[in-house]
Amino acid sequence: MSNSCPTRSWRYGTVSEIDVDFDRLADDLGGVRDAPLGEMTTYRVGGGAAVLVRVESLERLRRVAQILAEVDVPVLVIGRGSNMLVADRGFRGVAVQLGDFAAECEIDRRGDEAIVRAGGLALLPVVARRTASAGWTGFEWAVGVPGSVGGAVRMNAGGHGSDMEACVVDVDVYDLQRGSVSVRPLAELGLRFRGSSIVDHEVVTEARLRVSKGDVDTCRATLDDIVRWRREHQPGGQNAGSVFVNPIPGELSAGELIDRAGLRGRRLGSAEVSTKHANFIQADVGGSATDVKDLMDLVRQRISDDFGIELHSEIRLVGFVDGEETS
């Protein structure tokens, strides 16, 4: 591929009318055609991406942005896939994933505090264990969240009384439309309960997190307690964690409503409301993303009918006919 971007002639009007030479696009991007995107999520169901590009450096990310600027095609940034459900029909676009260069984690001590520099692809449990083992406290809650730092910033992941908003200092965000990187302080991220102002064409390449001086034994004990609690109260297997946002955090949980509606253990095809935690939906090995989505809709409708409460999903829906994201 040459250093200059060729002029594109393969454009389309709407997402439903995509007419792109994906073979050519994959070749230009150095990507993989028909990559098994669903298998890259924790649900492990769903179809592929028309093109998957794994980016191994910031310079490579810049080149990908230059090429994508020349063609109208949907772009999806994927981290560890822990909060995503891909439609069985797949994603007719380009999925971009950061490579190992964005999985690093370094701790910079500053007196009784430290700044953790974590790449966008760094695993939350890895960062939590590394900081705790060094005697730094404040990020132990993340040990049970199987996502990446970048995805956690975008959705303001949290648990056990804390979240990313309580830890983030600032982040590096690469804009695939503008082909530029910016440093965004916490105040400009728009973090809210399981959401932020970060949009589809923006990639969190690194986050700086603040932790405080603690005691190694205490930090490790906290980690062990969190892991033990999750094993006792939450199911393993193929799921994406809590499906619905709690209607009134701290007072009324989605799981409680689903239980009261008698839906614990409800099965629809290859998907089931977990018998261990009613706000989890499990997918069978070799199952269908359509079954998971239909069961989500069934639960949402039942809660609306029985209690007059509209549940909102935490799960990002990709490639479904009625939209790529839940509200």
Query: Which of the following is catalytic: 44, 129, 184, 194?
Result: 194
First to last CA, the chain: 39
**Strand order of the sheet with strand 75-77?**
32-35, 49-55, 91-98, 75-77
The residue type found at 11 is: R
- Residues in CB range of 258: below 8 A, 6 or more apart: 244, 264, 273, 278, 279, 299, 303
Q: Is 194 a catalytic residue?
A: yes
Q: Are 6 and 47 in contact (CB under 8 A)?
A: no
User: How far is residue 148's CA from residue 309's CA, in Å, rounded to a whole number?
Assistant: 31
Q: Are 165 and 253 in contact (CB under 8 A)?
A: no
Query: Which of the following is catalytic: 82, 148, 196, 242?
Result: 242
Task: Return the DSSP state at 188.
Answer: G
User: How far is residue 171's CA from residue 60's CA, in Å, rounded to a whole number?
Assistant: 19
- Residues in CB range of 310: below 8 A, 6 or more apart: 300, 303, 304
87 three-state secondary structure: coil
Task: Return the DSSP state at 234.
Answer: S
Q: Is 314 a catalytic residue?
A: yes
DSSP per residue, 137-185 = ES-GGGGG--SBHHHHHHHT-EETTEEGGGTEEEEEEEETTTTEEEEEE
Indicate which residues carry an active-site annotation: 194, 242, 314
